[in-house]
Amino acid sequence: MKQFVTKHTPGFLVCLVLALIAQGIAKFFPSIGAALFAIGLGILCGNTFLNKSCFDAGTKFSERNLLEYSIVLTGASLLLSDILALGLRGLGFIACQMALTVMVAYLIGRKMGFGKKFSLLMGAGNAVCGSSAIATVSPVVKADSKDKGISITIVNVTGTILMVVLPILTGVVYQHEVMHTSAMIGGTLQSIGQVIASAQLVGGEVVETATIFKIIRIVFIVLVALVYSRMNVEKDDTPLFSKSQAGEHGAVKAGVPWFIIGFFIMAILHSVGVIPPVVSHAAKLVSQQFEIIALAAIGMRVKFRDLAAEGPRAMLYGVGVGACQIVFALVLIRVFIG
């Protein structure tokens, strides 16, 4: 425990301080909010005087673990009726958006000369939940560490760009109407942190609904992994679903993440009245603080040198997939949500 605290404290404290500064600045610019300032400060500091390896463990912990805790606590302030409000139309939108994203990411990747495995990793990362999805499907398609690392970098950068673009787009197209805006943000952005950050730029109700859209996508990672397990990925010059090698991956290890289960448990407890209003309110406040700290960590972990190292071709790939996601969402929202 002492070693864990020593290793993670520097990075966590940096993210905490940046989060507090961001919230202080946001008081003077309430229309912008603390989320964007936290990420901006993280990117600025993480690429200049705070670009030190001693902060890596703490920023990684803050980005991943605090967001997971935040999601669980968010469940304590939601009712099952809020989640079920998405209905079949919401599920249909998510399923179609994810399927189209995987398909277009694969097709663009192959057209640009990238391998099957890398293209499929890009598909999963953009369609489901960024780095976590890539980590889940990597062993399924037997991807090497290089493909995994590059895909994570490109997916995160694409999501960071869209994180700022989508609130502007939804303001123009939907005038920030809650359901449409939430579907666009929660159904498109790559990571749960980016969804929360982007939704924070719009408003509290959008944060909750967009998070629900995103959570449903994360649950679907199980289906994506199962489909990937039936694909032939060993040779780039063979059909993706050829019978010779498809399905030889062995057991597929993919399950619903613990924090998604925790989210639903908390929502059920809140819905049946086990969690009193005062506790629900406190959980929401703590969740919001965890979010801002995690967003500062996300900014800290965006490195300009990583972007330069991947080159323009890989970046163009990521931006191209992101643009397609937006187009798909605009059409599907009109079809399923109206």
| CA dihedral of residues 119, 155, 134, 233 (deg, nearest 10) | 0
What's the pLDDT score for residue 237?
A: 65
What's the pLDDT score for residue 326?
A: 95
Q: How far apart are alpha carbons 174 and 180 in whole angstroms?
A: 7
Could you tell me which residues come within 8 angstroms of residue 150 by beta carbon, excluding any fewer than 6 positions away? 118, 310, 314
User: Which range is least confidently modeled, 7-21, 144-158, 235-249, 285-299?
Assistant: 235-249
Residue 82 has pLDDT above 80, yes or no: no
How far, in Å, are 36, 202, 299 from residue 164 at the CA level? 8, 11, 13
Give the residue-averaged pLDDT of 281-295: 85
Highest mean pLDDT among 15-19, 79-83, 281-285: 15-19
Could you tell me which residues come within 8 angstroms of residue 267 by beta carbon, excluding any fewer than 6 positions away? 75, 76, 78, 79, 80, 82, 83
Q: How confident is the model at residue 252 (pLDDT cuts 50, 70, 90)?
A: low
Give the residue-averaged pLDDT of 278-290: 88
Amino acid at 59: T
Give the residue-averaged pLDDT of 159-177: 90
Residue 260 has pLDDT above 90, yes or no: no
Residue 324 has pLDDT above 90, yes or no: yes
More reliable by pLDDT, 327 or 288: 327
What's the pLDDT score for residue 33?
A: 67
Q: How confident is the model at residue 227 (pLDDT cuts 50, 70, 90)?
A: confident
Give the residue-averaged pLDDT of 19-42: 81
Q: How far apart are alpha carbons 287 and 74 in whole angstroms?
A: 6
CB-based contact 285:77 (threshold 8 Å)? no
Q: How far apart are alpha carbons 70 and 72 in whole angstroms?
A: 5
Taking all residues of the chain, what is their mean pLDDT, rounded to a whole number? Answer: 83
Provide the 3-class DSSP secondary structure of residue 225: helix
Q: How far apart are alpha carbons 196 and 7 in whole angstroms?
A: 27
Q: How many helices (H) and strands (E) does the chain have?
A: 15, 0
Could you tell me which residues come within 8 angstroms of residue 82 by beta carbon, excluding any fewer than 6 positions away? 208, 209, 212, 267
Residue 323 has pLDDT above 80, yes or no: yes
Burial grade of 48 (CB within 10 A; 0-12, 13-18, 19 or more): exposed
Number of C-beta neighbours around residue 164 at 10 A: 15
Q: How confident is the model at residue 315 (pLDDT cuts 50, 70, 90)?
A: confident
For tokens 């049946």, the residue is 272
Give the residue-averaged pLDDT of 66-92: 81
User: Which range is least confidently modeled, 50-64, 73-87, 279-293?
Assistant: 73-87
What is the percent of the chain with per-residue pLDDT over 70, rounded to a whole number?
90
Give the residue-averaged pLDDT of 91-118: 92
| E strands in the chain | none
Q: How confident is the model at residue 255 (pLDDT cuts 50, 70, 90)?
A: low
Q: How far apart are alpha carbons 276 and 198 in whole angstroms?
A: 29
Residue 268 has pLDDT above 80, yes or no: yes
Category of 311 on φ-ψ map: left (φ > 0), alpha (ψ -120 to 50) or beta: left
User: Which range is least confidently modeled, 41-50, 218-227, 277-286?
Assistant: 218-227
How far, in Å, are 17, 18, 171 from residue 44 at the CA level? 14, 11, 27
